[in-house]
Amino acid sequence: MTIDAKHAAASAVSSHHGGLIQLSSEIHAHPETAWEEYRACGWVSNALAEQGFSVIPSYLGLETSFRASYGSGPFRVGLMAEYDALPGLGHACGHNIIAATAVGAALGLQKVADELGLTVEVYGTPAEEGGGGKIEMIDRGAFEGLDLAMMAHPGPVDVALAQPFAVAHNHVIYHGKSAHAGAYPANGVNANDAFVIAQVALGLLRQQLPPSVRVHGVMTHGGDAPNAIPDRTEGRWYVRAETSSELEDLLPRIEHCFEAGALASGCSLEIKPESKPYSEFRNDESALESYRANAIALGRIFDVGTTFSQMNRASTDMGNVSQLIPAIHPYIGIDSAPATNHQPEFAAACIRPAAEVAIIDGAVALAWTAIDQASSKLNGSSL
């Protein structure tokens, strides 16, 4: 039964090849950043509604989220569709591929849902790039009762094992006092100096941080005129660590660096979390091995131990889902090397032929993995 179901699912995905590639290309051509993905959300949910899925728009009160479902079987599989873009870089992380792959996997599973006892659910999950959309959804009750949660993320090469860092995202603001920089500099309180001091402190702190820790960010506003002392500066800073526990212990040391900038310059400081922290990822070993075997059967080659395989360390709010539900988050290669995620060249690669192949392969591999897991757990069959 499993072999026949896999054949039927793969055929169903193949029959939707043109529509899936068009969906990916459309999202790619119209990038929308976190919480603004109105068009992408509509395109993805409509693609499922047109094929008979029941769709709940603005799911749980989040305007750019949805839940689509098909079937009523006891094994509930959730496919995560991300579609937000990066500010200034468009789809340089390939979320257009993620969304199309999730739709493809759902359409493959739709074909065999009644036969295998599946409920197929697709979640439109906004704001992965720093906004913590899945965490907001968890807090509102999403994903409860799922037997398996899955998605496939593009990278330069295929890597099955997800090992993302836990991460905290913070918005940092210094408030100073403006003054004429030439005539009355002593009357000013320089918010730009505060940021410089903080970045020097962070640079020195890195010497004493564990090699697994990452501290990085950008100043998003540094002043308005060269002849005016800046009275406000802003930035966005991320802190990553191996585990949520390590991250929690680390954050006060990072905050002290920003406090040093305020103390030395005389500015006041605000640190505002942009979302709740992302957790490290917990892989479901059975589903992971199933995905790896299925991907290999499709001709995918896993590349480990190279620079291009390191995308599996990138942080994701899917980590928070994995703490609650059996989950996998494999990376599927689009043959972009030497371009890697978050580069303009990677964005360009996300609509090339290799990316189109990855959408279809990823959809089939995820569908086959769900078939394996459902067959094993519902029928006790071996693979």
pLDDT tens by residue, 233-276: 999 999 999 999 999 999 999 999 999 999 999 999 999 999 99
From CA 274, how far away is CA 277, in angstroms rounded? 9
**pLDDT score of 372 more than 90:** yes
Q: Look-up: residue for tokens 């109105």?
A: 38
From CA 43, how far away is CA 99, in angstroms rounded? 10
**pLDDT score of 180 more than 50:** yes
Do the two domains 2-164+280-379 and 166-273 of this chain adopt the same fold? Answer: no
Predicted confidence at residue 383, as pLDDT, reads 41
Q: Look-up: residue for tokens 């704001």?
A: 127
Tens digits of residue pLDDT in 123-157: 999 999 989 999 999 999 999 999 999 999 999 99
- Lookup: tokens for 82: 């991300």
DSSP 77-118: EEEEE----BTTTBSTT-HHHHHHHHHHHHHHHHTTHHHHTE
β-bridge mates for residue 49, sequence order: none
Cβ atoms within 10 Å of 68's Cβ, excluding its own: 28
From CA 95, how far away is CA 97, in angstroms rounded? 5
Tens digits of residue pLDDT in 50-106: 999 999 999 999 999 999 999 999 999 999 999 999 999 999 999 999 999 999 999
Write the CB contacts of 16 (distance below 8 Å, at least 6 apart in sequence).
Answer: 103, 104, 107
Q: At what angle do helices 285-297 and 353-379 cross, to 10 degrees?
A: 130
Tens digits of residue pLDDT in 271-290: 999 999 999 999 999 999 99
**pLDDT score of 382 more than 60:** no
Q: Look-up: residue for tokens 């290799």?
A: 354
Predicted confidence at residue 4, as pLDDT, reads 93
Write the CB contacts of 211 (distance below 8 Å, at least 6 apart in sequence).
Answer: none
CATH topology of domain 2-164+280-379: Aminopeptidase (3.40.630)
Predicted confidence at residue 330, as pLDDT, reads 97
Q: How long a stretch of residues is the chain?
A: 383
Q: At what angle do helices 38-49 and 17-29 cross, to 10 degrees?
A: 170
| Average pLDDT rounded to a whole number, residues 349-375 | 98
Tens digits of residue pLDDT in 30-59: 999 999 999 999 999 999 999 999 999 999
For domain 166-273, the CATH class is: alpha beta
The H-or-E segment that residue 167 falls in is strand 166-175
The H-or-E segment that residue 1 falls in is none
Predicted confidence at residue 109, as pLDDT, reads 98
The H-or-E segment that residue 216 falls in is strand 214-221
Segments making up each domain of the chain, as ranges: 2-164+280-379, 166-273
